[in-house]
Amino acid sequence: KMIKEGPVVDVDTEIIHGEHAGIINHYITESKLSFSGINSSDNDLEVVGYDFVKATLKIGSRRNLTHKGFQVIDLNLSDSLDKRKPIVCYIKNKYSNDYIKVNIYFKNNKSALFELETEIYPLILGEYIAIFDRDGRNAKLIGMGKISHSGDFTLVDRVSEFREKKDLDEEEPEVVTSIFKF
């Protein structure tokens, strides 16, 4: 499937720009595109993804790979960390030498949501990130994980319907039970 020819689709406009000679010949973040149909005015386009089943190469703007939040699966962290509450730490990926401050919200022992202070580019699904206890030279590696979903996430209140249906005369303290949703 990676050698098979297929269409080149712009994910922002859904326009088919031409054909590629095989996904194996391209990489995510590739910006020097040489397909029939791409002209010099489209120089801000880059490869942002693949559809292996349809042999489709997805191109788009840089913002398609720039995010402030993502979900990590296959999360391996130090056993000494308290996973019952959010923690603050730092991450690095293979494209940068900078440490990025992140808030980690645990879903379970092997999955968590990461909220970054600054946007990260490129954030590629399926790649691994390294997790450190601090930034700088003396940082200790405390874990790693695989990026599974990306985007900005918001709090979802799972008990709002229950609160609306509940008719109480007295006002009770508000209990916030929420999860995150992309």
- Compute the average pLDDT of residues 25-50: 78
Q: How confident is the model at residue 111 (pLDDT cuts 50, 70, 90)?
A: very high
- The per-residue pLDDT for 37 is 61
pLDDT > 70? residue 158: no
Q: What is the mean pLDDT of residues 92-99?
A: 88
The predicted model gives 49-53 an average pLDDT of 88
How far is CA 155 from its chain centroid? 17
Which helix (H) or strand (E) segment is 103 a member of?
Answer: strand 100-108
Q: What is the pLDDT of residue 24?
A: 85
pLDDT band at residue 180 using 50, 70 and 90 as cut-offs: low
Q: Under the phi-then-psi rule, with left for phi > 0, alpha for psi from -120 to 50, and beta for the rest, what region is 144? A: beta
Lowest mean per-residue pLDDT among 8-22, 92-106, 132-146, 149-163: 149-163
Amino acid at 98: D
Task: Quote the pLDDT of residue 39.
Answer: 57
Contact present, 156 and 62 (Cβ < 8 Å): no
**DSSP-derived pairing of the beta strands 56-60 and 46-51:** antiparallel
Give all strands of the β-sheet with 46-51 in edge-to-edge order: 16-20, 6-10, 56-60, 46-51
Q: How confident is the model at residue 53 (pLDDT cuts 50, 70, 90)?
A: confident
Burial class (CB in 10 A: 0-12, 13-18, 19+), 33: buried
Q: What is the pLDDT of residue 138?
A: 92
Residue 116 has pLDDT above 70, yes or no: yes
